[in-house]
């Protein structure tokens, strides 16, 4: 599937969603529209001067109730490159610590007339809860085990830029699928754009019923990796695990780690991705993560800024009364 199938001209405001809570509600052409919109911001990001003031006068609040490096910083950079006033709210320093509820926090942000709110929260569904209460666009920066839509969009953009297409590719996602909102959003996004998606994990880290998401399920990584175009590794989310999900990190690496030996089972064109943060030496070895020709990991970070600029731009067009908004 190519960008020619996107029905929207560049700069169009005809995107029918106020919020970006999940990939699940996006049509393939809407995903392609966002990827196409991001192209201009990839180019801007590579210039010495990186400013476009189209969001000047708008206020964006990044409310993060969980830790983040990439998503928080890239949303902040995205908003600032577009000229918005960007404010970050870290839950650890907020009145959440004094017992304020999520809804009261949302109503407080709303009363400050934010023009967009970006939220990361540890509970699945928390972002939709806030979106239902506030008057401005809400962007999901990751909610529990539910979705991380901008991660999936930036991953799709990275793959499309590297391979020239997504339709017809085979992508294996390997690791802690059970706890991964990244896996869920990527499965929805990549299958929607015509990729074949394999998921691979030990049985304890594979969600029940995942076959219903149109994926092929593997427990043997050596089999799952054969013939793929992209290997997407996921972090073991120890912080979400209560009890024994894996025998030991060493055993896990042996069976599910992306090592040089395992990558050698693939074609030299097979590319490596990881959303970060990485557990080097567990799910991925440094010798693979740092491969200049085959690892897209730093490219994913670059695409993250561009995708977040595209999302902020598109979702604030109604507020900015951009011509053509219906």
Q: Return residues touching ligand CP (CB under 6 A).
A: 68-71, 142, 151, 275-277
Pairing type for strands 196-200 and 216-218 reads: parallel
Cβ 152 to ligand CP shortest distance, Å: 11
CB closer to ligand CP out of 49 and 93: 93
Give alpha helix (H) positions in the chain.
28-45, 70-81, 102-111, 126-131, 149-163, 181-192, 221-224, 249-256, 260-263, 286-289, 297-315
Cβ 103 to ligand CP shortest distance, Å: 24
Q: Which two tokens stand for residue 61?
A: 């609040």
CB closer to ligand CP out of 120 and 160: 120
Q: Which residues contact 96 (CB under 8 A, 6 or more apart)?
A: 65, 102, 105
Cβ 123 to ligand CP shortest distance, Å: 16
Cβ 232 to ligand CP shortest distance, Å: 12
Q: How far apart are the first and last CA of the chain?
A: 27
CB closer to ligand CP out of 198 and 235: 235
CB closer to ligand CP out of 12 and 151: 151
CB closer to ligand CP out of 123 and 319: 123
* Edge-to-edge strand ranges of the sheet holding 170-174: 216-218, 196-200, 170-174, 230-233, 271-273
Cβ 92 to ligand CP shortest distance, Å: 15
The CA–CA distances, whole Å, from 17 to 21, 34, 137 equal 10, 12, 9
CB closer to ligand CP out of 62 and 71: 71
Cβ 255 to ligand CP shortest distance, Å: 24
- Given a contact cutoff of 8 angstroms between Cβ atoms, the answer to whether 273 and 294 are in contact is no
Cβ 157 to ligand CP shortest distance, Å: 14
**Distance between CA atoms of 184 and 213, rounded to whole angstroms?**
9
CB closer to ligand CP out of 1 and 234: 234
Cβ 4 to ligand CP shortest distance, Å: 30
Pairing type for strands 271-273 and 196-200 reads: unpaired
CB closer to ligand CP out of 128 and 151: 151
User: How does DSSP assign 220-284, residue by residue?
Assistant: -HHHHTTT-SEEEE----GGG--S-SSS-HHHHHHHH-B-HHHHTTS-TT-EEE--S---BTTTB
CB closer to ligand CP out of 194 and 277: 277
- Given a contact cutoff of 8 angstroms between Cβ atoms, the answer to whether 96 and 105 are in contact is yes
**DSSP one-letter code for 59:** E
Among the listed residues 28, 37, 15, 89, the one whose alpha carbon sits nearest the alpha carbon of residue 318: 15
**Distance between CA atoms of 184 and 146, rounded to whole angstroms?**
7
Beta bridge partners of 180: none
Cβ 181 to ligand CP shortest distance, Å: 9
């Amino acid at each position: 599937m190519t960008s020619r199938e996107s029905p929207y001209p560049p700069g169009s405001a005809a995107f029918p969603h106020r919020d970006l809570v999940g990939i699940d509600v996006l049509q393939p052409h809407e995903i392609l529209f966002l990827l196409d919109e991001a192209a201009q911001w990839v180019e801007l990001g590579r210039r010495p001067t990186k400013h476009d003031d189209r969001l000047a006068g708008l206020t964006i609040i990044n409310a993060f109730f969980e830790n983040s490096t990439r998503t928080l910083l890239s949303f902040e950079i995205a908003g600032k490159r577009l000229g918005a006033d960007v404010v970050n709210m870290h839950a650890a320093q907020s009145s959440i610590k004094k017992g304020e509820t999520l809804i009261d926090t949302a109503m407080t942000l709303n009363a400050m007339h934010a023009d967009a709110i970006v939220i990361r929260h540890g509970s699945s569904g928390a972002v939709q809860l806030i979106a239902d209460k506030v008057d401005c666009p809400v962007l999901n920066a990751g909610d529990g085990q539910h979705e991380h839509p901008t991660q999936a969009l930036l991953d799709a953009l990275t793959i499309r830029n590297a391979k020239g297409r997504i339709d017809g590719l085979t992508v294996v996602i390997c690791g802690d699928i059970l706890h991964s909102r990244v896996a869920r959003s990527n499965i929805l996004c990549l299958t929607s754009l015509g990729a074949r998606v394999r998921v691979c994990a030990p049985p304890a880290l594979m969600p029940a019923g995942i076959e219903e998401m149109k994926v092929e399920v593997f427990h043997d990584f050596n089999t799952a990796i054969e013939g793929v175009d992209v290997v997407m590794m996921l972090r073991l989310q120890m912080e979400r695990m209560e009890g024994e999900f894996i025998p030991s990190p060493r055993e896990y690496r042996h069976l599910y780690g992306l090592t040089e030996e395992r990558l050698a089972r693939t074609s030299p064109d097979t590319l490596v991705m990881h959303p970060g943060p990485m557990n080097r030496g567990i799910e991925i070895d440094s010798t693979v993560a740092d491969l200049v020709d085959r690892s897209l990991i730093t490219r994913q970070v670059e695409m993250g800024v561009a995708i977040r600029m595209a999302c902020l731009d598109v979702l604030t067009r109604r507020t900015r009364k951009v011509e053509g908004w219906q």
